[in-house]
Amino acid sequence: MGFLNGKTAVVTGSTSGIGLACARSFAGAGANIVINGMGAPGDIEKERAAIERDFTVRAIYSPADMTKPSEIAELIALGEETFGSVDILVNNAGIQHVSPIEDFPAEKWDAIIAINLSASFHAIRAAVPGMKTRGWGRIITTASAHSLVASPFKSAYVAAKHGIAGLTKTVALELARSKITCNCISPGYVWTPLVEKQIPNTMAARRMRRDEVINDVLLAAQPTKEFVTVEQVASLALFLCSDNAAQITGANLSMDGGWTVA
């Protein structure tokens, strides 16, 4: 039996990448899981079933749209109605668009702010009452090195991630006496299937070799010249749910290969 046995974790954006790694990590510690995200129905069902098979817990899927507050509230309600509680909330859903500010499409700005920032507010707002009633909770949000530093052409993403850092601190202060912690994790570049798919396009656009794209573009800001792995992010998220992390709250925890050291 794991230390999360009997608890429930809702993880947004968890059909692949960091979110899926977090869901599997929590399931390995005994938690029931609510996954959420986009993808082909068959692929999503495969991952959901694998969580149940591999860890002998229950896992359900919600197709909630993270741009819609009512569906976010329904996501939290689904976890509470199915399992009796939502004890852990991981806000991980996110999208990206890169463009100069004068050309940045307004609809892209709105979508990035909605999914990368506002969705976390709505999910926290829906989950906190139940956590308060039970006297325990863990709220973890995937931020980014861009919650601490900026990069050109990422105005919406940087604004959203800076907002996550501020939201985390505010919620932590409000809940400090409630046995509920609120933290965010700020990875640098993480090796995910999406990153792998983007490499050939970057190679073609910049006329660079694969190793040049990886080292001189993707990992340019990370002194270790190594990608963060989804398993490393998930391990930190799992630690934040443990009793040993009970006094860690309001923290923005960097995992970026030294990107934001200076």
Nearest to 123 by CA among 157, 90, 82: 90
The catalytically annotated residue of 157, 189, 227, 259 is 157
CATH topology of domain 8-190+228-255: Rossmann fold (3.40.50)
> Known catalytic residue: 157?
yes
Going residue by residue through the chain, which has 262 residues, state the pLDDT in tens, using 9 for 90 and above.
Answer: 599 999 999 999 999 999 999 999 999 999 999 999 999 999 999 999 999 999 999 999 999 999 999 999 999 999 999 999 999 999 999 999 999 999 999 999 999 999 999 999 999 999 999 999 999 999 999 999 999 999 999 999 999 999 999 999 999 999 999 999 999 999 999 988 778 887 887 888 788 899 998 898 889 999 999 999 999 999 999 999 999 999 999 999 999 999 999 7
Give the single-character DSSP code of 61.
E
Tell me the domain boundaries of the chain.
8-190+228-255
Q: Cα–Cα distance between 37 and 20 in angstroms, integer? A: 10
Angular region, 183: left φ>0, alpha ψ -120 to 50, beta rest: beta
